[in-house]
Structure 1
Amino acid sequence: MMISTFLRAALGVSALLASGLLGSAAFAAATDYRVEVVGARAAGAGKTDVTIRLIRVPDNKPVPDAVIFQTRADMAPAGMPTMTGNVSPPAAQQPPGTYRLQVETGMAGNWALTLSAKVQGEAETVRATVPFSAAQ
């Protein structure tokens, strides 16, 4: 009788742990997303329109309706991390999962865009740094 009660308790704890592990696997991590540059084009004197795409890696699908924030642009790839440019909030989405930002790039060259994105339904914030080339 004592062994039976102990065995039932052990099985219950095992089931509880297994369900907790399986349940947590249902939520994606920030590493399940990537940001890629779709294109960068001159948008007037000292400005570059940078179009990015947020992708969910497991199914390789674009992620619509994310909130892009904490944006920063600098020339770190060119060895000048103190050369920075303001980044405007994203304009309306182009195709779903694609976001266009305008960066004040004071000069042509290699730049890096650093950003954070909040994906609906995800607890973690996606953070990425992607390189782009600015032409004047």
Structure 2
Amino acid sequence: MIFHRFRAAVLSTVAVLAAGFLSTAAIAAARDYRIELVSAQAAGAGKTDVTVRLIHLPDSKPVPDAVIFQTRADMAPSGMPTMTGKVSPAAAQPQPGTYRLQVETGMAGGWALSLSAKIQGETETVRSTVTFNAAQ
């Protein structure tokens, strides 16, 4: 009888610890990724093509097939956070793990592009901001 109670207590403790480790792994997932600027090139009057790369940090490999959403561009680096620009996905992606967006940059200067990405198999959303200079 005492053995069965001891075994039940040990099993429940192991279950609680395992659940804690699994939830910690899910929380750490977003920190395992980084979005970095590859290039920012003028794409006509008042537009800039911005290419970013999504990297899995533990193995430094690019992450293909992510879904980029909740984009926002503003001139916060230039001291004008209320100056915003429309962000649109570009038709073709240059390489797996890179993502090209077109930003309507109404004026030259420093811009911040905030992005959210969903990665297949990950529960958390990866969020990042990259800065770039727009030329007119």
TM over 0.5: yes
| Residue pair 1:88, 1:102 contacting (<8 A) in 2 also | yes
1:59 aligns with 2:67: no
Work out the CA distance in 2 between the residues paired with 1:129 and 1:47: 19
1:30-109 mapped onto 2 (5 Å cutoff): 30-109=30-109
Give the structure 2 partner of residue 125 of structure 1.
Answer: 125
Secondary structure class of the residue paired with 1:29: helix
Work out the CA distance in 2 between the residues paired with 1:34 and 1:124: 13
Q: What TM-score results when the alignment is normalised by the length of structure 2?
A: 0.89
Work out the CA distance in 2 between the residues paired with 1:128 and 1:43: 23
Identify unmatched segments of 5+ residues in structure 2: none
Give the structure 1 partner of residue 8 of structure 2.
Answer: 9
Tell me by how many angstroms 1:123 deviates: 1.4
Work out the CA distance in 2 between the residues paired with 1:68 and 1:107: 25
The one-letter amino acid paired with 2:120 is Q
Number of positions where the alignment pairs a residue of Structure 1 with one of Structure 2: 135
Tell me by how many angstroms 1:25 deviates: 5.3
Secondary structure class of the residue paired with 1:88: strand
**Percentage identity across paired residues of the two chains:** 70
| Residue pair 1:110, 1:132 contacting (<8 A) in 2 also | yes
Work out the CA distance in 1 between the residues paired with 2:14 and 2:91: 48
| Residue pair 1:69, 1:89 contacting (<8 A) in 2 also | no
The one-letter amino acid paired with 2:51 is T
Identify unmatched segments of 5+ residues in structure 1: none
Tell me by how many angstroms 1:11 deviates: 1.5
